[in-house]
Amino acid sequence: MKRIIINKPKVFLFLLLIFIFNSGLIIKNFEDKNFKTKEEIVIQVYTVKKGDTLWTISDNYECKNKMKFIMEIEKLNNISSYDIKPGYKLAIPIYKNK
């Protein structure tokens, strides 16, 4: 009869790593759901002028992360940065903490 030899320290280390990884995922998920500040979103309409880009338009607004802000404008208006032309009306999200 063959015996299977289990290396207990390696098994313990493997299980410990799985536990730590799962704990990190649970904590991250908990933080995402419970600790976000509630924000009120106001939509402001901006009329595109000649020479405007989403980057230059975003300079007129207070934002923490310019790239994320531009991506939100693109998503909200269903456009890409290359689609804007003078006269277009863009919905611009303005976030206000409650």
- Residues 22-70: pLDDT tens digits? 888 787 776 655 555 567 888 999 999 999 999 999 999 988 889 999 9
Q: What is the pTM of this model?
A: 0.57
- The answer to the question of residue 74 being in a domain is yes
- The answer to the question of residue 33 being in a domain is no
Specify the DSSP class assigned to residue 13.
H
- The answer to the question of residue 61 being in a domain is yes
**71 is in which domain, residue-wise?**
39-97
CA dist., res. 51 & res. 86, Å (int): 8
pLDDT of residue 86: 94
pLDDT of residue 33: 59
- The answer to the question of residue 86 being in a domain is yes
Give per-residue pLDDT as tens, 69-96: 999 999 999 998 888 899 999 999 988 7
CA dist., res. 81 & res. 75, Å (int): 10
Closest by CA to 46, choosing from 37, 36, 54, is 54
Q: Is the pLDDT at 14 greater than 90, yes or no?
A: no
Count the domains in the chain: 1
pLDDT of residue 47: 95
- The answer to the question of residue 32 being in a domain is no
- The answer to the question of residue 3 being in a domain is no
CA dist., res. 21 & res. 27, Å (int): 10
| Partner residues linked to 47 by β-bridges | 89
